[in-house]
Amino acid sequence: MLIAANKAVSIDYTLTNDAGEVIDSSAGGAPLVYLHGAGNIIGGLERALLGKQAGDELSVAVEPVDAYGEYSAELVATLNRSMFEGVDELEVGMQFHASGPDGSMQIVTIRELDGDDVIVDGNHPLAGQRLNFQVKVVNVRDASEEELAHGHIHGEGGHQH
């Protein structure tokens, strides 16, 4: 069975940056299971997997525009510590939900602390990076009606309700 829209796809993968450092991997764990065509994985990888089948192995380099986007300096802001009311101790790396410029919710990460200034970054941690995937297609099957209705895969390796 070939990978196409509305198929449940299981993959083993290793993700590295351009320096060869492993960012994420399914090695030692269950394969990643996703619903093809539902936007469950980054677009560049999903397009590269289209038409593949169980047993296929591939190397995919995904440019930022087809992954988490280019890094945007506009998503970095300096806020006053007082805006984090109710948080006793702030630390670099902490993440918070915040309203984005368009009113949507986004996740911001504390990048730096300088006195009462808290520098937050709304970019995805992998924004601006080329992502290199080593992928093996483990399984391809038809998604169930419930999975199609929910827009993601259920069961082992997928979303649990």
Place of tokens 């038409």: 51
Among 26, 68, 25, smallest CA distance to 157 is for 26
> Band of the pLDDT at 157, cuts 50, 70, 90?
low
- What confidence score (pLDDT) does residue 158 get? 57
Share of the chain above pLDDT 90, in %: 86
Summarize pLDDT for 3-32 with one digit per residue, the tens.
Answer: 999 999 999 999 999 999 999 999 999 999
The pLDDT-based confidence of 160 (bands split at 50, 70, 90) is low
Distance (Å, whole) CA 122 – CA 106? 7
pLDDT at 150: 92
| Residue the block writes with tokens 């209705």 | 149
Task: Tell me: pLDDT of 133 over 70.
Answer: yes
Residues 49-104 pLDDT 10s:
999 999 999 999 999 999 999 999 999 999 999 999 889 899 999 999 987 767 78
Cβ-Cβ contacts under 8 Å for 7 (sequence gap 6 or more): 1, 35, 36, 37, 140, 141, 142, 143
Residue 142 binned pLDDT confidence (cut-offs 50, 70, 90): very high
Is 80 exceeded by the pLDDT of residue 105? Answer: yes
pLDDT at 154 over 90: no
Q: Kindly list the distances between the CA atom of residue 154 and the CA atoms of 41, 99, 111, in Å, as whole numbers in the listed order.
A: 15, 30, 35
Tens of pLDDT, residues 33-49:
999 999 999 999 999 99
